[in-house]
Structure 1
Amino acid sequence: MKLAVRRAANMAMASCLALMALAVFVNVVLRYGFGSGIAASEEVSRLLFVWMVFIGATAAYPAGEHMAFTSLLIPLRAKPRAFAAVTVLVRLLVLTAAVMLAWGAWQQVSVSWDTHSVVLGYPAALLPLPALLCGAGIAVMAVLELVRGEPLDLGHGVEVE
């Protein structure tokens, strides 16, 4: 299941990147080659970039690919009780940050739902919506990790110098 979700997230990010690159490339060629451009290119690129970033942030969390201060945690491996306490603390901090992100994004979505983009006319709420979904997704994953009692993954240790 995790692999299928990760693969879908990677495909969504790749699609966003490909469409962004195509839109910008075509716009550059039209502007410099023919003196005209596609007005919607900037809006499409901005919207796709925001979605790509938040899809990536959501997909990176269960894979343990977010920034981690493993150099602070590695010495605690020898002390199981302290490591367990720090694990719970880290999960609670992640949960707090994710809820704050989702709450702020929800406020932006609710305020901007009746506003539309200038060129394409899509609801402006589509820009903060991926932040809301990202915050909610990470919060759910953090709660599941807390309930299951999963230890922190310190796989980043090889990257610490």
Structure 2
Amino acid sequence: MLNRFIDRYVQFINALIAFALAVMVVLVFGNVVMRYGFNSGIAVSEELSRWLFVWITFLGAVAAIKENAHLGSDMLVSRLPVLGKKICLVLGQLLMLYITWLFFDGSLQQAKINWDVEAPVSGLSVAIFYASGVVFSVCAGVLLLLQMLRALTGQLSDADLVMVKESEEQAELEALQAELARENAHSHSPLGDKPLPHAGK
């Protein structure tokens, strides 16, 4: 039940990202066509595109939390027993919740300060720009709390206890290194691929 809710939660965020990206593409591409084809343009295209890019970045960071796609190192945690992994997972999520709170507080203060400040082109409140940090903090905080609840209730597999997910490039590099190590060990064996010497005459 909890896993299904988290999946739908992230699917909704991904839908928002897709919508914002589609609007940004229409604004940028439409502006290029109008400039070169009709010697005109969309006045708010550049400003809104920059704002949408920031919103996409922050919403994408929320989705990356669920996929464990953020940068990290599992050199220590991956070698711990299950209990040690759970402890590190909960501690890591508590630290991320604290940092998320700091980010939320700072973004909220900036949104309040710029509430009456108008953007130079669109005339919209600049608080919308800083609200991306507020939305990110709330969404990420909810997701972190749900993931911590899954860890405390034993709903995570052993593989999910490590919050770092290897990239495809890293996995391919490790596989290549392992293959080279096997070939190197084979070439340094006493017999190797050399034929046995014949008895002398």
| TM-score with structure 2 setting the length | 0.69
Moved over 3 A (4+): 143-148, 157-161
**Aligned position for 2:188:** none
**Aligned position for 1:22:** 26
Give the CA deviation at 1:35.
Answer: 2.6
1:64 aligns with 2:68: yes
Structure 1 residues not aligned, in runs of 5+: none
Partner of 1:135, secondary structure, is helix
Structure 2 residues not aligned, in runs of 5+: 175-201
CA contact (8 A) 2:24 2:49 kept: yes
CA contact (8 A) 1:74 1:154 kept: no
Equivalenced residue count is: 159
Cα–Cα, structure 1 residues 4 and 145, in superposed 2: closer, same or farther, change >3 Å?
A: closer
| TM-score with structure 1 setting the length | 0.84
Give the root-mean-square deviation of aligned CA atoms.
2.2
Q: Deviations over 1:72-122 (max 9, x none)?
A: 32111xx23432332222112211221111111111111111111112111
Q: Which of 27, 43, 48 is 1:44 aligned to?
A: 48
**Aligned position for 2:130:** 128
1:9 aligns with 2:24: no
1:92 aligns with 2:101: no
Give the CA deviation at 1:155.
Answer: 6.8
User: Structure 1 or 2: larger helix share?
Assistant: 1
Bigger radius of gyration, 1 or 2?
2
Give the CA deviation at 1:48.
Answer: 1.4
Higher relative contact order (CA 8 A, sep 6+): 1
1:14 and 1:121 mapped to 2: Cα distance?
A: 25
Q: Percent identity?
A: 34
